[in-house]
Structure 1
Amino acid sequence: MKNKSLVPVFFCIPDLTGFTKFITSTETVFANQVITDLLNQIVSSNMLDMKVAEVEGDAVFFYRTGRLPAVGKVAKQCKNIYDTFKEKIDSYQTSHPEEYQQFLADEQLGIKIVIHFGHISLVKIEGRTKLMGEDVILVHKLLKNGIPEPNYILLTDNYTLKLKDKKTVKNWFNWESVKKGSEQYEHFGLTHYSYISLVDCKNFKKKKSQLPKSLPRIISNPS
């Protein structure tokens, strides 16, 4: 049973993929400009009235307490983050063509978005609100996983099982393209999730007439 003092929370963490290689192989001034621009754009793409707990080098740690946002709004938020990211990356093709071709073309720098539901404690440290609890640790661990895609959304089972209407997930996240995965994390054991490439999310919502009558079998992530 969860401690009554714990607060239910929705996590949304956009995190840059290929960050370490980009930082270590790119000229410092250009690398700093790109990362700063991208993180600022991601923060400004917030449509769900989420709070920013931290900006952590290559990730924005969004969270929202209270009522879980509707699946459609979460899907739109993910699409907005990706569109904002892609638009900014594409802009360097004009402003810095040589650097773009060498360091940014062909999805060398991508983005993953981790969606999770859990519980936290909110504490004040030197006037700042800090998030504490096992789900804070777990959601950070989930940023390190074996998914091969450069751009994707990861939906933890903790999140999808919390949804009252499971059918809404397949409506918004192109469920026929979703794959299953899991990671073994120390102290947490086997953690299950679903994921979908952001490239497959060009059109999040399908027309009712196009929806499958039953949920398709989910393709397993090969081990």
Structure 2
Amino acid sequence: MTTSRTTLLIADIGGYTEYMGSHRMTLAHAEVNTARMLDSVIDAARGFDLVEIEGDAAFLSRRAGDRDADAVLAEVLQAAAQMHRAFHREREYVVANLCPCGGCRQARALTLKFVAHVGDVATQSIRGRSKLVGIDVILAHRLLKNDVTIPEYVLITDDLYSEVAGSRPEGVQELTQEVEGIGQVLTHIVDVGELDQGSDPGRPTLATRLSSTFSAIGRGLPYMIGARGMRVQR
């Protein structure tokens, strides 16, 4: 099994546990709304390949090859900013619909955070499905549990950050974390909101609100009647 130098990027929706309720309408629309937001996030990750949807997170990768750390970090930060912008635009459409259920009304509390790492990764095929494996994949996922206090951020490992020779984002915070089974890991935290300087999507029109309402109702109906099962979230 050969390995290759690969950039790993995980986009994780925060606040989902609190967002979920017990009413079936809420569960159906929470499922639909989360799927819409993840779809938008993935579409915005230009240059990265989707490895897997992991509950309320998207795991993406890109071959780093022999490119220098400056180029790799720039790609990560640009992708994170684009994904953050797409997430918030879609979240505004969800919140703007006219459905009164908690799955729609409370979507504004959802956030988006990222973990970025670069390391040696192997591809394993199991029953026709390709999967990325290796200690670096494990590290990236375990860093989702951390002590970062900023609601929306990009957590960058020192493996990716320390080799950067050019300009670095402003306001970077260092944080050493104890990672289960690995030990202490130095990370660098960037407020993703500071990276995303995209234009304000503006207030959704009535037509957009009605369209979003009908979309939530139509896409949520199969879950409500049991024709499709709910995903089990982390």
| TM norm structure 2 | 0.74
**1:56-205 superposed matches below 5 A:** 56-67=54-65, 68=67, 69-96=71-98, 98=100, 99=102, 102-105=105-108, 108-163=109-164, 165=165, 167-168=166-167, 170=168, 173=169, 175=170, 177-203=171-197
Separation in 1, partners of 2:187, 2:22: 32
Q: How many residues align?
A: 191
Separation in 2, partners of 1:101, 1:37: 12
* Deviation at residue 97 of structure 1 after TM alignment: 6.5
Separation in 2, partners of 1:189, 1:113: 21
Separation in 1, partners of 2:163, 2:128: 32
Deviation digits for residues 64-110 of structure 1 (CA, Å, limit 9, x no counterpart)? 124355433322211100000000111123214644884133xx210
Residue 101 and residue 33 in structure 1: after superposition, are their counterparts in 2 closer, same or farther (change >3 A)?
closer
Separation in 2, partners of 1:32, 1:75: 28
Q: Which residue of 1 aligns with 2:217?
A: none
* Deviation at residue 19 of structure 1 after TM alignment: 1.5
Q: Which residue of 1 aligns with 2:10?
A: 13
SS of residue paired to 1:76: helix
Q: What do you get for the CA RMSD once the two structures are aligned?
A: 2.2
Q: Which has the higher contact order (CA 8 A, sep 6+)?
A: 2
Q: Which residue of 2 aligns with 1:207?
A: none
* Deviation at residue 25 of structure 1 after TM alignment: 6.1
* Deviation at residue 117 of structure 1 after TM alignment: 0.6
2:155·2:189 contact (CA, 8 Å) conserved in 1?
yes
Q: Percent identity of the aligned residues?
A: 23
1:45 aligns with 2:44: yes
Separation in 2, partners of 1:139, 1:93: 31
1:19·1:109 contact (CA, 8 Å) conserved in 2?
yes
Deviation digits for residues 193-222 of structure 1 (CA, Å, limit 9, x no counterpart)? 111222222449xxxxxxxxxxxxxxxxxx
2:73·2:161 contact (CA, 8 Å) conserved in 1?
no
Unaligned runs of 5+ in 2: 199-234
Separation in 2, partners of 1:100, 1:132: 35
Residue 114 and residue 123 in structure 1: after superposition, are their counterparts in 2 closer, same or farther (change >3 A)?
same
1:179·1:194 contact (CA, 8 Å) conserved in 2?
yes
Separation in 2, partners of 1:93, 1:28: 15
| TM norm structure 1 | 0.78
Q: Which residue of 2 aligns with 1:211?
A: none
2:114·2:155 contact (CA, 8 Å) conserved in 1?
yes
Residue 25 and residue 187 in structure 1: after superposition, are their counterparts in 2 closer, same or farther (change >3 A)?
same
1:109·1:150 contact (CA, 8 Å) conserved in 2?
no
Residue 71 and residue 187 in structure 1: after superposition, are their counterparts in 2 closer, same or farther (change >3 A)?
closer
